Structure 1
Protein backbone atom coordinates (compact mmCIF):
# COMPACT_ATOMS: atom_id res chain seq x y z
CA UNK A 1 0.00 0.00 0.00
CA UNK A 2 2.98 2.32 0.38
CA UNK A 3 3.54 3.13 -3.32
CA UNK A 4 -0.13 4.04 -4.05
CA UNK A 5 -0.24 6.15 -0.88
CA UNK A 6 2.91 8.03 -1.85
CA UNK A 7 1.68 8.55 -5.43
CA UNK A 8 -1.75 9.76 -4.29
CA UNK A 9 -0.15 12.10 -1.75
CA UNK A 10 2.19 13.53 -4.40
CA UNK A 11 -0.77 14.20 -6.71
CA UNK A 12 -2.64 15.82 -3.85
CA UNK A 13 0.45 17.92 -3.16
CA UNK A 14 0.47 19.22 -6.73
CA UNK A 15 -3.14 20.35 -6.41
CA UNK A 16 -2.62 21.82 -2.95
CA UNK A 17 0.54 23.55 -4.12
CA UNK A 18 -1.42 25.35 -6.83
CA UNK A 19 -3.77 26.72 -4.18
CA UNK A 20 -0.88 27.60 -1.87
CA UNK A 21 0.49 29.92 -4.55
CA UNK A 22 -2.73 31.91 -4.17
CA UNK A 23 -2.40 31.84 -0.39
CA UNK A 24 1.18 33.13 -0.48
CA UNK A 25 0.20 35.98 -2.79
CA UNK A 26 -3.07 37.08 -1.19
CA UNK A 27 -2.94 36.43 2.56
CA UNK A 28 -0.18 38.98 3.33
CA UNK A 29 -2.22 41.58 1.45
CA UNK A 30 -5.38 40.74 3.42
CA UNK A 31 -7.20 39.49 0.31
CA UNK A 32 -9.63 36.60 -0.04
CA UNK A 33 -8.09 33.35 -1.25
CA UNK A 34 -11.31 32.28 -3.00
CA UNK A 35 -12.53 35.42 -4.73
CA UNK A 36 -11.91 36.77 -7.30
CA UNK A 37 -10.61 33.89 -9.42
CA UNK A 38 -6.94 33.89 -10.41
CA UNK A 39 -6.08 36.33 -13.19
CA UNK A 40 -3.03 37.44 -15.15
CA UNK A 41 -1.31 40.38 -13.41
CA UNK A 42 -0.50 41.87 -16.83
CA UNK A 43 -3.82 41.90 -18.67
CA UNK A 44 -6.17 40.93 -15.81
CA UNK A 45 -7.62 38.12 -17.91
CA UNK A 46 -9.11 35.28 -15.86
CA UNK A 47 -6.93 32.17 -15.99
CA UNK A 48 -8.82 29.31 -17.62
CA UNK A 49 -8.96 25.90 -15.97
CA UNK A 50 -6.88 24.32 -18.74
CA UNK A 51 -4.16 26.93 -18.09
CA UNK A 52 -4.20 26.22 -14.37
CA UNK A 53 -2.98 22.60 -14.35
CA UNK A 54 -0.11 22.38 -11.84
CA UNK A 55 3.36 22.52 -13.43
CA UNK A 56 2.14 21.28 -16.83
CA UNK A 57 0.36 24.51 -17.81
CA UNK A 58 3.44 26.57 -16.96
CA UNK A 59 5.60 24.32 -19.13
CA UNK A 60 3.16 24.33 -22.07
CA UNK A 61 2.83 28.12 -21.95
CA UNK A 62 6.60 28.49 -21.45
CA UNK A 63 6.05 30.58 -18.37
CA UNK A 64 3.90 33.24 -20.06
CA UNK A 65 0.27 34.35 -20.11
CA UNK A 66 -1.59 32.87 -23.07
CA UNK A 67 -3.23 36.20 -23.89
CA UNK A 68 -0.66 38.96 -23.28
CA UNK A 69 2.55 36.91 -22.93
CA UNK A 70 3.40 38.50 -19.57
CA UNK A 71 5.98 36.37 -17.79
CA UNK A 72 4.80 34.05 -15.00
CA UNK A 73 7.33 33.49 -12.24
CA UNK A 74 9.01 30.08 -12.07
CA UNK A 75 8.17 30.16 -8.37
CA UNK A 76 4.65 28.94 -9.17
CA UNK A 77 5.60 25.52 -10.57
CA UNK A 78 8.41 25.21 -8.01
CA UNK A 79 5.93 25.64 -5.16
CA UNK A 80 3.67 23.03 -6.74
CA UNK A 81 6.53 20.57 -7.23
CA UNK A 82 7.94 21.27 -3.80
CA UNK A 83 4.60 20.66 -2.11
CA UNK A 84 4.17 17.42 -4.07
CA UNK A 85 7.62 16.22 -3.00
CA UNK A 86 6.97 17.16 0.61
CA UNK A 87 3.64 15.32 0.64
CA UNK A 88 5.26 12.27 -0.95
CA UNK A 89 8.05 12.16 1.63
CA UNK A 90 5.62 12.48 4.53
CA UNK A 91 3.48 9.70 3.04
CA UNK A 92 6.57 7.53 2.59
CA UNK A 93 7.41 8.04 6.26
CA UNK A 94 3.93 7.43 7.69
CA UNK A 95 2.25 5.22 5.09
CA UNK A 96 -1.52 4.80 4.87
CA UNK A 97 -2.02 5.57 8.55
CA UNK A 98 -4.55 7.40 10.68
CA UNK A 99 -2.01 10.11 11.42
CA UNK A 100 -1.10 10.80 7.78
CA UNK A 101 -3.78 13.50 7.23
CA UNK A 102 -2.53 15.47 10.25
CA UNK A 103 1.03 15.55 8.94
CA UNK A 104 0.03 16.30 5.37
CA UNK A 105 -1.86 19.23 6.86
CA UNK A 106 1.31 20.30 8.68
CA UNK A 107 3.28 20.10 5.43
CA UNK A 108 0.59 22.07 3.61
CA UNK A 109 0.66 24.82 6.25
CA UNK A 110 4.46 24.88 6.35
CA UNK A 111 4.88 25.85 2.69
CA UNK A 112 2.96 29.16 2.68
CA UNK A 113 4.13 30.13 6.16
CA UNK A 114 7.78 29.68 5.21
CA UNK A 115 7.41 31.62 1.95
CA UNK A 116 5.40 34.46 3.50
CA UNK A 117 7.89 34.79 6.33
CA UNK A 118 10.70 35.02 3.79
CA UNK A 119 8.76 37.57 1.73
CA UNK A 120 7.35 39.91 4.40
CA UNK A 121 8.92 38.76 7.70
CA UNK A 122 5.55 37.76 9.12
CA UNK A 123 3.64 34.60 10.07
CA UNK A 124 0.00 35.59 9.46
CA UNK A 125 -2.59 34.81 12.13
CA UNK A 126 -4.96 33.97 9.28
CA UNK A 127 -2.94 30.77 8.76
CA UNK A 128 -1.41 30.06 12.18
CA UNK A 129 -4.46 30.44 14.41
CA UNK A 130 -6.84 28.17 12.42
CA UNK A 131 -4.05 25.58 12.40
CA UNK A 132 -4.63 24.99 16.12
CA UNK A 133 -8.20 23.59 15.92
CA UNK A 134 -7.56 21.79 12.62
CA UNK A 135 -4.38 20.16 13.95
CA UNK A 136 -6.09 19.19 17.21
CA UNK A 137 -9.03 17.65 15.34
CA UNK A 138 -6.84 15.66 12.95
CA UNK A 139 -4.62 14.40 15.77
CA UNK A 140 -7.71 13.46 17.77
CA UNK A 141 -8.91 11.50 14.74
CA UNK A 142 -5.53 9.76 14.62
CA UNK A 143 -5.82 8.84 18.30
CA UNK A 144 -9.36 7.58 17.77
CA UNK A 145 -8.22 5.41 14.88
CA UNK A 146 -5.14 4.02 16.62
CA UNK A 147 -6.46 3.95 20.17
CA UNK A 148 -3.38 5.93 21.27
CA UNK A 149 -5.09 8.51 23.46
CA UNK A 150 -1.87 8.99 25.40
CA UNK A 151 -0.38 10.41 22.21
CA UNK A 152 -3.10 13.07 22.12
CA UNK A 153 -2.35 14.08 25.71
CA UNK A 154 1.33 14.19 24.84
CA UNK A 155 0.50 16.37 21.82
CA UNK A 156 -1.30 18.85 24.06
CA UNK A 157 1.62 18.89 26.49
CA UNK A 158 4.08 19.29 23.60
CA UNK A 159 2.16 22.25 22.21
CA UNK A 160 2.09 23.96 25.61
CA UNK A 161 5.77 23.28 26.30
CA UNK A 162 7.05 24.57 22.97
CA UNK A 163 4.74 27.59 23.13
CA UNK A 164 5.96 28.37 26.67
CA UNK A 165 9.61 28.00 25.67
CA UNK A 166 9.29 30.41 22.76
CA UNK A 167 7.23 32.83 24.84
CA UNK A 168 9.93 32.85 27.52
CA UNK A 169 12.58 33.55 24.90
CA UNK A 170 10.52 36.33 23.33
CA UNK A 171 9.97 38.01 26.71
CA UNK A 172 13.58 37.53 27.82
CA UNK A 173 14.95 39.16 24.67
CA UNK A 174 12.44 41.61 23.19
CA UNK A 175 12.89 41.99 19.46
CA UNK A 176 14.90 38.82 19.17
CA UNK A 177 11.89 36.70 18.31
CA UNK A 178 8.49 37.66 16.94
CA UNK A 179 5.24 36.61 18.59
CA UNK A 180 4.33 34.93 15.32
CA UNK A 181 7.13 32.46 16.05
CA UNK A 182 5.66 31.89 19.51
CA UNK A 183 2.23 31.09 18.11
CA UNK A 184 3.69 28.81 15.45
CA UNK A 185 5.67 26.94 18.12
CA UNK A 186 2.45 25.74 19.72
CA UNK A 187 1.21 24.25 16.45
CA UNK A 188 4.52 22.50 15.84
CA UNK A 189 4.57 21.21 19.41
CA UNK A 190 1.20 19.54 18.90
CA UNK A 191 2.42 17.55 15.91
CA UNK A 192 5.84 16.74 17.32
CA UNK A 193 4.45 15.74 20.70
CA UNK A 194 1.95 13.30 19.19
CA UNK A 195 4.82 11.32 17.65
CA UNK A 196 6.85 11.18 20.87
CA UNK A 197 8.94 13.10 23.37
CA UNK A 198 12.07 12.37 21.38
CA UNK A 199 10.53 13.86 18.26
CA UNK A 200 9.48 16.94 20.23
CA UNK A 201 12.97 17.54 21.60
CA UNK A 202 14.67 16.90 18.26
CA UNK A 203 12.23 19.13 16.37
CA UNK A 204 12.69 21.99 18.81
CA UNK A 205 16.47 21.65 18.76
CA UNK A 206 16.70 21.40 14.96
CA UNK A 207 14.75 24.65 14.58
CA UNK A 208 17.36 26.54 16.56
CA UNK A 209 20.23 24.65 14.92
CA UNK A 210 19.02 25.44 11.40
CA UNK A 211 18.22 29.04 12.32
CA UNK A 212 21.73 29.53 13.68
CA UNK A 213 23.30 27.91 10.64
CA UNK A 214 21.30 30.14 8.27
CA UNK A 215 22.27 33.24 10.24
CA UNK A 216 25.97 32.35 10.18
CA UNK A 217 25.83 31.57 6.46
CA UNK A 218 24.20 34.93 5.67
CA UNK A 219 26.76 36.80 7.76
CA UNK A 220 29.62 34.91 6.12
CA UNK A 221 28.19 35.87 2.71
CA UNK A 222 27.90 39.52 3.77
CA UNK A 223 24.12 39.50 3.40
CA UNK A 224 23.35 40.02 7.08
CA UNK A 225 24.90 41.49 10.21
CA UNK A 226 24.65 40.56 13.87
CA UNK A 227 21.61 42.80 14.31
CA UNK A 228 19.87 41.89 11.04
CA UNK A 229 16.31 40.58 11.30
CA UNK A 230 16.30 37.08 9.85
CA UNK A 231 12.99 35.19 9.50
CA UNK A 232 13.01 32.26 11.90
CA UNK A 233 9.76 30.60 10.81
CA UNK A 234 11.30 28.65 7.89
CA UNK A 235 13.94 27.16 10.21
CA UNK A 236 11.29 26.19 12.77
CA UNK A 237 9.18 24.53 10.10
CA UNK A 238 12.10 22.74 8.46
CA UNK A 239 13.30 21.45 11.83
CA UNK A 240 9.82 20.18 12.71
CA UNK A 241 9.36 18.39 9.37
CA UNK A 242 12.80 16.80 9.65
CA UNK A 243 11.86 15.59 13.11
CA UNK A 244 8.62 14.11 11.77
CA UNK A 245 10.69 12.13 9.28
CA UNK A 246 13.48 10.93 11.58
CA UNK A 247 13.09 12.51 15.01
CA UNK A 248 12.70 9.35 17.08
CA UNK A 249 15.64 7.71 15.30
CA UNK A 250 17.87 10.73 15.98
CA UNK A 251 16.74 10.85 19.61
CA UNK A 252 17.49 7.13 20.00
CA UNK A 253 20.91 7.57 18.43
CA UNK A 254 21.74 10.40 20.83
CA UNK A 255 20.67 8.34 23.84
CA UNK A 256 22.78 5.41 22.62
CA UNK A 257 25.80 7.69 22.31
CA UNK A 258 25.30 8.96 25.85
CA UNK A 259 24.97 5.46 27.24
Structure 2
Protein backbone atom coordinates (compact mmCIF):
# COMPACT_ATOMS: atom_id res chain seq x y z
CA UNK A 1 0.00 0.00 0.00
CA UNK A 2 1.42 3.37 -1.05
CA UNK A 3 1.81 6.37 1.25
CA UNK A 4 -1.06 8.13 -0.52
CA UNK A 5 -3.35 5.15 0.06
CA UNK A 6 -2.36 4.93 3.75
CA UNK A 7 -3.20 8.62 4.23
CA UNK A 8 -6.46 8.11 2.35
CA UNK A 9 -7.41 5.19 4.57
CA UNK A 10 -6.61 6.96 7.86
CA UNK A 11 -8.32 10.25 7.08
CA UNK A 12 -11.10 8.61 5.10
CA UNK A 13 -12.00 6.22 7.90
CA UNK A 14 -12.19 9.10 10.39
CA UNK A 15 -14.32 11.10 7.96
CA UNK A 16 -16.69 8.22 7.36
CA UNK A 17 -17.28 7.75 11.08
CA UNK A 18 -18.52 11.35 11.03
CA UNK A 19 -20.48 10.73 7.82
CA UNK A 20 -22.08 7.71 9.47
CA UNK A 21 -23.15 9.90 12.38
CA UNK A 22 -24.65 12.46 9.98
CA UNK A 23 -26.39 9.65 8.10
CA UNK A 24 -28.14 8.74 11.36
CA UNK A 25 -29.52 12.28 11.52
CA UNK A 26 -31.06 11.85 8.06
CA UNK A 27 -32.46 8.43 8.95
CA UNK A 28 -34.00 9.81 12.12
CA UNK A 29 -35.37 13.12 10.81
CA UNK A 30 -36.36 12.57 7.18
CA UNK A 31 -39.35 10.20 7.64
CA UNK A 32 -42.50 11.60 9.22
CA UNK A 33 -45.47 9.45 10.28
CA UNK A 34 -48.88 10.21 8.75
CA UNK A 35 -52.18 10.15 10.60
CA UNK A 36 -53.76 8.23 7.71
CA UNK A 37 -52.44 6.52 4.56
CA UNK A 38 -51.62 8.74 1.58
CA UNK A 39 -52.83 8.06 -1.97
CA UNK A 40 -50.16 5.38 -2.32
CA UNK A 41 -51.31 3.60 0.85
CA UNK A 42 -48.15 4.63 2.71
CA UNK A 43 -48.17 5.56 6.39
CA UNK A 44 -45.00 7.63 6.11
CA UNK A 45 -43.92 10.73 4.21
CA UNK A 46 -40.69 12.75 4.23
CA UNK A 47 -39.84 16.17 5.62
CA UNK A 48 -38.36 18.95 3.44
CA UNK A 49 -34.56 19.05 3.49
CA UNK A 50 -34.34 22.39 5.39
CA UNK A 51 -36.22 20.79 8.28
CA UNK A 52 -34.00 17.71 8.16
CA UNK A 53 -30.69 19.56 8.03
CA UNK A 54 -31.58 22.51 10.26
CA UNK A 55 -30.35 22.76 13.84
CA UNK A 56 -27.90 20.74 15.90
CA UNK A 57 -28.19 17.08 16.81
CA UNK A 58 -30.95 16.53 19.35
CA UNK A 59 -32.87 13.75 21.03
CA UNK A 60 -35.84 12.70 18.90
CA UNK A 61 -37.90 12.11 22.07
CA UNK A 62 -37.30 15.15 24.30
CA UNK A 63 -35.63 17.50 21.82
CA UNK A 64 -32.65 18.20 24.09
CA UNK A 65 -29.50 19.10 22.10
CA UNK A 66 -26.85 16.38 22.09
CA UNK A 67 -23.70 17.42 23.94
CA UNK A 68 -20.41 17.20 22.00
CA UNK A 69 -19.12 14.46 24.30
CA UNK A 70 -22.30 12.48 23.62
CA UNK A 71 -21.91 12.76 19.84
CA UNK A 72 -18.87 10.54 19.35
CA UNK A 73 -19.78 7.81 16.83
CA UNK A 74 -20.40 4.39 18.41
CA UNK A 75 -18.48 5.24 21.60
CA UNK A 76 -21.08 7.66 23.01
CA UNK A 77 -23.93 5.22 22.42
CA UNK A 78 -22.03 2.53 24.32
CA UNK A 79 -21.13 4.87 27.20
CA UNK A 80 -24.74 6.03 27.51
CA UNK A 81 -25.90 2.41 27.21
CA UNK A 82 -28.20 3.42 24.39
CA UNK A 83 -30.19 5.95 26.44
CA UNK A 84 -30.61 9.72 26.15
CA UNK A 85 -28.71 11.56 28.89
CA UNK A 86 -31.59 14.01 29.29
CA UNK A 87 -34.84 12.02 29.26
CA UNK A 88 -33.52 8.47 29.51
CA UNK A 89 -35.46 7.30 26.46
CA UNK A 90 -33.91 4.63 24.28
CA UNK A 91 -31.67 5.80 21.43
CA UNK A 92 -32.55 3.64 18.41
CA UNK A 93 -30.13 0.77 17.87
CA UNK A 94 -29.53 1.70 14.26
CA UNK A 95 -27.24 4.55 15.42
CA UNK A 96 -24.17 2.46 16.36
CA UNK A 97 -24.83 0.03 13.50
CA UNK A 98 -24.87 2.80 10.88
CA UNK A 99 -21.94 4.62 12.48
CA UNK A 100 -19.87 1.44 12.36
CA UNK A 101 -20.91 0.00 9.01
CA UNK A 102 -20.34 3.27 7.11
CA UNK A 103 -16.54 3.42 7.66
CA UNK A 104 -16.31 -0.34 7.13
CA UNK A 105 -17.93 0.10 3.72
CA UNK A 106 -15.43 2.88 3.02
CA UNK A 107 -12.57 0.48 3.74
CA UNK A 108 -14.21 -2.10 1.49
CA UNK A 109 -14.47 0.44 -1.33
CA UNK A 110 -10.80 1.40 -1.02
CA UNK A 111 -9.80 -2.27 -0.93
CA UNK A 112 -11.77 -3.17 -4.06
CA UNK A 113 -11.33 -0.01 -6.15
CA UNK A 114 -8.07 1.53 -4.98
CA UNK A 115 -7.34 5.23 -5.29
CA UNK A 116 -8.43 5.90 -8.88
CA UNK A 117 -11.21 8.31 -9.81
CA UNK A 118 -13.93 5.65 -9.69
CA UNK A 119 -13.67 5.85 -5.93
CA UNK A 120 -15.60 9.15 -6.01
CA UNK A 121 -18.99 7.74 -7.11
CA UNK A 122 -18.41 4.64 -4.98
CA UNK A 123 -17.92 6.68 -1.81
CA UNK A 124 -20.98 8.78 -2.58
CA UNK A 125 -23.08 5.63 -2.88
CA UNK A 126 -22.18 4.45 0.65
CA UNK A 127 -24.14 6.93 2.82
CA UNK A 128 -26.91 7.02 0.22
CA UNK A 129 -27.34 3.25 0.25
CA UNK A 130 -27.10 3.00 4.03
CA UNK A 131 -29.65 5.76 4.65
CA UNK A 132 -32.14 4.42 2.09
CA UNK A 133 -31.84 0.89 3.49
CA UNK A 134 -32.34 1.99 7.10
CA UNK A 135 -35.33 4.19 6.24
CA UNK A 136 -36.90 1.41 4.16
CA UNK A 137 -36.46 -1.04 7.03
CA UNK A 138 -38.05 1.37 9.51
CA UNK A 139 -40.89 2.74 7.37
CA UNK A 140 -41.34 0.55 4.26
CA UNK A 141 -40.72 3.56 1.98
CA UNK A 142 -37.83 4.39 -0.36
CA UNK A 143 -37.57 8.19 -0.01
CA UNK A 144 -37.68 10.02 -3.33
CA UNK A 145 -36.05 13.02 -1.62
CA UNK A 146 -32.88 10.92 -1.37
CA UNK A 147 -32.99 8.72 -4.47
CA UNK A 148 -33.39 11.24 -7.30
CA UNK A 149 -30.89 13.84 -6.01
CA UNK A 150 -28.48 10.99 -5.25
CA UNK A 151 -28.92 9.64 -8.78
CA UNK A 152 -28.00 12.94 -10.44
CA UNK A 153 -25.02 13.47 -8.14
CA UNK A 154 -23.91 9.90 -8.86
CA UNK A 155 -24.10 10.52 -12.62
CA UNK A 156 -22.13 13.77 -12.25
CA UNK A 157 -19.38 12.10 -10.19
CA UNK A 158 -19.28 9.21 -12.66
CA UNK A 159 -18.80 11.65 -15.53
CA UNK A 160 -15.90 13.24 -13.65
CA UNK A 161 -14.35 9.80 -13.08
CA UNK A 162 -14.86 8.75 -16.70
CA UNK A 163 -13.27 11.95 -18.03
CA UNK A 164 -10.34 11.73 -15.60
CA UNK A 165 -9.67 8.08 -16.49
CA UNK A 166 -10.48 8.47 -20.21
CA UNK A 167 -13.12 5.72 -20.13
CA UNK A 168 -16.38 7.08 -21.58
CA UNK A 169 -17.68 3.55 -22.10
CA UNK A 170 -18.18 3.25 -18.35
CA UNK A 171 -21.07 5.70 -18.74
CA UNK A 172 -22.64 3.67 -21.52
CA UNK A 173 -22.52 0.62 -19.30
CA UNK A 174 -24.22 2.67 -16.59
CA UNK A 175 -27.20 3.14 -18.91
CA UNK A 176 -27.15 -0.59 -19.66
CA UNK A 177 -27.22 -1.28 -15.92
CA UNK A 178 -30.34 0.88 -15.53
CA UNK A 179 -32.15 -0.99 -18.31
CA UNK A 180 -31.24 -4.43 -16.98
CA UNK A 181 -31.88 -3.78 -13.27
CA UNK A 182 -34.73 -1.26 -13.29
CA UNK A 183 -36.45 -2.56 -16.43
CA UNK A 184 -37.72 -5.88 -15.01
CA UNK A 185 -38.78 -4.20 -11.76
CA UNK A 186 -40.72 -1.57 -13.68
CA UNK A 187 -42.54 -4.28 -15.62
CA UNK A 188 -43.30 -6.13 -12.37
CA UNK A 189 -44.58 -2.95 -10.75
CA UNK A 190 -46.69 -2.10 -13.82
CA UNK A 191 -48.30 -5.55 -14.00
CA UNK A 192 -48.52 -6.21 -10.25
CA UNK A 193 -48.42 -2.82 -8.50
CA UNK A 194 -49.25 -4.36 -5.13
CA UNK A 195 -46.19 -6.60 -5.28
CA UNK A 196 -43.74 -3.71 -4.82
CA UNK A 197 -43.66 0.05 -4.53
CA UNK A 198 -42.45 2.34 -7.29
CA UNK A 199 -39.75 3.50 -4.89
CA UNK A 200 -37.96 0.20 -5.54
CA UNK A 201 -37.96 1.00 -9.27
CA UNK A 202 -36.46 4.42 -8.60
CA UNK A 203 -33.83 2.87 -6.35
CA UNK A 204 -33.02 0.30 -9.05
CA UNK A 205 -32.37 3.19 -11.45
CA UNK A 206 -29.76 4.63 -9.10
CA UNK A 207 -28.16 1.28 -8.29
CA UNK A 208 -28.37 0.01 -11.87
CA UNK A 209 -26.38 2.96 -13.17
CA UNK A 210 -23.69 2.44 -10.53
CA UNK A 211 -23.49 -1.30 -11.14
CA UNK A 212 -23.17 -0.81 -14.88
CA UNK A 213 -20.58 1.92 -14.43
CA UNK A 214 -18.36 -0.41 -12.41
CA UNK A 215 -18.73 -3.32 -14.84
CA UNK A 216 -15.96 -2.11 -17.13
CA UNK A 217 -16.02 -1.12 -20.80
CA UNK A 218 -17.66 -4.13 -22.45
CA UNK A 219 -21.42 -3.88 -22.93
CA UNK A 220 -22.13 -7.49 -22.02
CA UNK A 221 -20.19 -6.93 -18.81
CA UNK A 222 -22.81 -4.38 -17.80
CA UNK A 223 -25.57 -6.82 -18.63
CA UNK A 224 -23.94 -9.69 -16.74
CA UNK A 225 -23.16 -7.72 -13.59
CA UNK A 226 -26.65 -6.19 -13.44
CA UNK A 227 -28.23 -9.62 -13.91
CA UNK A 228 -26.06 -10.99 -11.10
CA UNK A 229 -27.10 -8.08 -8.88
CA UNK A 230 -30.79 -8.64 -9.61
CA UNK A 231 -30.47 -12.36 -8.94
CA UNK A 232 -28.56 -11.84 -5.70
CA UNK A 233 -31.06 -9.21 -4.52
CA UNK A 234 -33.90 -11.63 -5.20
CA UNK A 235 -32.17 -14.39 -3.24
CA UNK A 236 -31.46 -12.07 -0.32
CA UNK A 237 -35.00 -10.72 -0.34
CA UNK A 238 -36.50 -14.19 -0.50
CA UNK A 239 -34.30 -15.43 2.34
CA UNK A 240 -35.17 -12.48 4.57
CA UNK A 241 -38.84 -12.90 3.65
CA UNK A 242 -38.88 -16.56 4.66
CA UNK A 243 -37.23 -15.74 7.98
CA UNK A 244 -39.70 -12.90 8.60
CA UNK A 245 -42.67 -15.12 7.78
CA UNK A 246 -41.44 -17.69 10.27
CA UNK A 247 -40.94 -15.06 12.97
CA UNK A 248 -43.94 -12.79 12.40
CA UNK A 249 -46.44 -14.82 10.40
CA UNK A 250 -48.21 -13.99 7.16
CA UNK A 251 -48.63 -10.32 7.97
CA UNK A 252 -44.88 -9.72 7.88
CA UNK A 253 -43.81 -7.01 5.44
CA UNK A 254 -40.28 -7.17 4.09
CA UNK A 255 -38.76 -4.20 2.22
CA UNK A 256 -36.81 -5.04 -0.93
CA UNK A 257 -34.63 -1.92 -0.88
CA UNK A 258 -32.01 -3.19 1.61
CA UNK A 259 -31.55 -6.38 -0.41
CA UNK A 260 -30.98 -4.36 -3.58
CA UNK A 261 -28.48 -2.09 -1.85
CA UNK A 262 -26.57 -5.02 -0.32
CA UNK A 263 -26.52 -6.79 -3.67
CA UNK A 264 -25.25 -3.66 -5.44
CA UNK A 265 -22.45 -3.16 -2.91
CA UNK A 266 -21.36 -6.79 -3.23
CA UNK A 267 -21.42 -6.80 -7.03
CA UNK A 268 -19.55 -3.50 -7.30
CA UNK A 269 -16.87 -4.64 -4.84
CA UNK A 270 -16.44 -8.04 -6.52
CA UNK A 271 -17.07 -6.97 -10.13
CA UNK A 272 -13.74 -8.32 -11.43
CA UNK A 273 -14.15 -11.66 -9.69
CA UNK A 274 -17.77 -12.03 -10.80
CA UNK A 275 -17.04 -11.30 -14.46
CA UNK A 276 -13.73 -13.18 -14.69
CA UNK A 277 -15.28 -16.62 -15.41
CA UNK A 278 -17.09 -15.12 -18.41
CA UNK A 279 -13.89 -13.83 -19.99
CA UNK A 280 -14.10 -16.34 -22.81
CA UNK A 281 -17.36 -14.65 -23.91
CA UNK A 282 -15.87 -11.18 -23.85
CA UNK A 283 -17.34 -10.17 -20.51
CA UNK A 284 -14.07 -9.63 -18.66
CA UNK A 285 -14.09 -6.60 -16.38
CA UNK A 286 -12.09 -3.79 -17.93
TM-score by length of 1: 0.89
Rounded Cα–Cα distance in structure 1 between residues aligned with 2:84 and 2:247: 37
Give 1:81 shift: 0.6
State which of 265, 268, 279 in structure 2 corresponds to 1:241.
265
User: 1:206 and 2:235 equivalent?
Assistant: no
**Stretch of structure 1 that moved more, 124-133 or 245-254:** 245-254
Task: Deviation per CA, 1:34-57: give whole Å up to 9, x if none.
Answer: 113222345432113332121233
Q: Residues 192-248 of structure 1: CA distance to partner in whole angstroms, max 9, x if unpaired? A: 0011223222222211121122222323x24243x7532100111111111011133
SS of the residue corresponding to residue 249 of structure 1 reads helix
Q: Give TM-score, length-normalised by structure 2.
A: 0.81
- 8 Å contact kept, 1:6–1:89: no
Question: 2:181 aligned with 1:162, yes or no?
Answer: yes
Equivalence map 1:67-106=2 (5 Å): 67-106=86-125
Partner of 2:211: 192
Q: Residue 5 of structure 1 aligns with which residue? A: 8
Give CA deviations for 1:114-135 in whole Å, capped at 9, x if unaligned. 1111111000101111111101
CA distance in structure 1 between the partners assigned to 2:263 and 2:278 by the alignment: 17
**Residues 140 and 59 from structure 1, CA distance in 2 versus in 1: closer, same or farther, beyond 3 angstroms?**
same
The structure with higher relative contact order (CA 8 Å, sep 6+) is 1
In 2, distance between residues paired with 1:106 and 1:149? 20
Q: Distance in 2 between matches of 1:183 and 1:64?
A: 36
Q: Once structures 1 and 2 are overlaid, which stretch shifts more, 185-194 or 164-173?
A: 164-173
Q: Equivalents in 2 of 1:218, 1:45: separation in Å?
A: 35
What residue is the counterpart of 1:223 in the other structure?
Answer: 248
Across the two proteins, how many residue pairs are aligned to each other?
A: 254
Residue 15 of structure 2 corresponds to residue 16 of structure 1 = no
- 1:5 deviation in Å? 2.9
Q: Which has the higher helix share?
A: 1
